Amino acid sequence: MADVLAAAESELALGRPENALELLSRHLLPDSMGEGAPLAVYAASQYAVGAFLEAGNVFDLAANHASGLRRGTLRARAARSFERGGVMGTAAELYRQAALDFPDAAGWMALREAAIIRDETRAIELLQLVPDAGRELAATVWASWLQKAGDEWGASEVLADVGRFAAAGVLARSVGEDERARELIYRAVAVREREQALRGVEAALAESPPASVGEHTAVASAILRYGRAVDAVTHSAAAVVASDSAIASLLFHGEVTERSGNRWGALRIYQNAAAREGEEAAEAGYRAARTYVRLGQRTRAIQTLGAFLDEYPDHSRAPAAMFLLGDIRQDQRRVRAADSIFKILNEKWPGDRFASDARSRFGARALARGDLEESIAVFRTEVEQNGARSLAAQYQIARLSRDLGDTATALEEWTTLARRDSIGYYGTMARLAAGLPDPAFAPKPTPVPSVDVQRELAVLDLLQAAELDDEPAALIRHLSDPDHWEVSELMDVAEGLIARGQARFAVGIGWRIAGLHSLNDPRVLRIIFPWPHRDLLEREAAEFKLDPFLLVALVRQESAFDADATSRAGARGMMQLMPATARGLARQLHVDWNSTFLGVADANVHLGAAHLAQMLRQYNDEVVLALAAYNAGGSRVRRWMRYPEAQAGDWFLFTERIPFRETRGYVQTLLRNRELYRALYGKSIDP
């Protein structure tokens, strides 16, 4: 029975509940029920195929074979099944029974019951029992009761009190409170939270179409953040009209237009704004010049950059304009002109980030012509200025000192950098170059969570198992709030979330703990860099002959171990595979393809590990190239392989030269994370 049960669970996890039902139907015997486990899997399979009433009955039967918290969880699953099946009376009774079996979850069960019963007085009593973590959801339930009673205005104010501004605005509009509705809807549009903002946009367009400059700008900004930039252009253009072509609106419209991919259109907008006067007109002039650069119009770019610098020599954008001008001259192989421009930039604005970029160019130029001492001097200036690229500069000083035979200086610089940037990319590279030992992290402790944390995590288990819609996320948000816990308890919460498949939330908590406590605490680092699914990742790494530390570093970066992660481009799962790529990999591996596999951890990692191994073979096991291709695509990497740094096998300099900031940072982050995972979870530490 154990083998049958394991097979059925696998089929269910792979999105094939029909197969699980068939397996269990043939082997489900009364004397093999145990604590109701086979029945629970059978019921979960029925639930997955939409047979909610049948699932409810079987979950209830499974609960009769269980005890304690397990019975409460199964009762909650039964209740949710009957609720989905429309049998609200039975669902309410089962929620009440679940509360008796699992008292710590009684407030959440009261919330579910209040949402489905018909007795308003009883609903009011139940909502008083809901814990603070469910306050927003309780308000939503109470608002629905008010709506049933015909009090839309009261429901609107209840929703507004808990920040559900879009829904509140729609209700206010329904009772003729147009001014209040508009206020609430545009508050929703401005919220820095994706779902709420997009609901606000939807409500604005349907209920209160933008009429003012601020409203058009707010809608365009929200779409720009969370939607498609091309859809924001209409509203940024309307903002221009509403403002009578004010420069600020033109600048915003130009930005939206450029981000939508229409650079020529953006250029015309910037030129229009630049024809005015004042500080904003100067900004428009710079943006027009920058757009010429992005369009590859070098002659016009040089003219407009020169005109900008002549007219606004002390503008805040002047260092950027100077660097762009030097960059163009360098691309044209007018080296002396480029050096002259970079020199002026370095002298006039030594602390600016573009001066750091200029010094990097100077150092690289000196290195290219074999003048190692001059290159060291340039990089030394960057370190002394503590510029934006000072860590890279210090690494270069050590490398060049070594090449000149000064191994003592090289070791000193690398050692200093390893201390200065102890868990950063350049510090990690310095430690490896100098042969320094890995950071010494204490073995992973096995702390016992506080009683309060254990209680809340047990409740989370029930809410997740019952497949409730909003309650698990509400509780996780509550648990993630540092104001609710001592630092040690917050660590308990984060570790508990990792164990429950919620590593993405735990990583965010870990960064907050680092700010409150210390980033260098090994326990904090293992929260920020967790390793759930370790057995799975090590097994797949072994099968495809991959470094397991590289594989886990990649999964963390791609999805933070979220099996349900989906990117805007459509990449899915833990290793963020595009469906077409995954389908091709499945065919190569002789795996029967099913699109649901992308959301299953085991299947996604299996295909993703094969993909990474394939890329490593393609690039002769050169990790930098394989990672760059994983992020940016093979065609770009083939183009970059023509760089002299690639021809020389200097992968540090090659990485520095990757033109896409995202890809460069991606490669650097994964190389750092690989070594950090090695230090945190080495062989001396138990999984």
* Type of residue numbered 542: A
- CB-based contacts of 58-62 (< 8 A; 24+ apart in sequence): 60/94, 61/36, 62/33, 62/36, 62/37
192 neighbors 169 (Cβ within 8 angstroms): no
Q: Which residues, in sequence order, are CB contacts of 240 under 8 Å at separation 6+?
A: 246, 249, 250, 253
> Distance between CA 68 and CA 399 in Å, rounded?
64
> Distance between CA 510 and CA 480 in Å, rounded?
10
Place of tokens 């981000």: 259
DSSP symbols for 111-179: HHHHHH-S-HHHHHHHHTT--GGGHHHHHHHHHHHHHHTT-HHHHHHHHHHTT-HHHHHHHHHHTT-HH
> Distance between CA 205 and CA 173 in Å, rounded?
13
* DSSP 8-class letter at 445: P
DSSP symbols for 530-581: --TTHHHHHHHHHHTT--HHHHHHHHHHHHTT-TT-B-TT--BTTTTB-HHH
Angle between helical axes of 213-226 and 194-207 (0-180°, round to 10): 140
CA distances from 386 to 356, 380, 389, 415 (A): 9, 10, 8, 17
Q: 679, 687, 676: which is closest to 440 by C-alpha?
A: 679
CA distances from 557 to 40, 575, 685 (A): 35, 9, 22
Of the residues 558, 622, 656, 675, only one is catalytic, namely 558
Which residues pair with residue 416 across a beta bridge? none
* Type of residue numbered 630: Y
Question: Does 558 participate in catalysis according to the annotation?
Answer: yes
| Per-residue b or e along 330-362, where b marks 16 or more CB atoms closer than 10 Å to that residue's CB | beeeeeeebbebbeebbeebbebebbbbbbbbb
189 neighbors 227 (Cβ within 8 angstroms): no
Q: How far is CA 498 from the centre of its chain?
A: 16
* Type of residue numbered 297: Q
Rg of the chain over CA atoms, in angstroms? 30
Structure tokens at 650: 């200097």
> What residues are annotated to the active site?
558
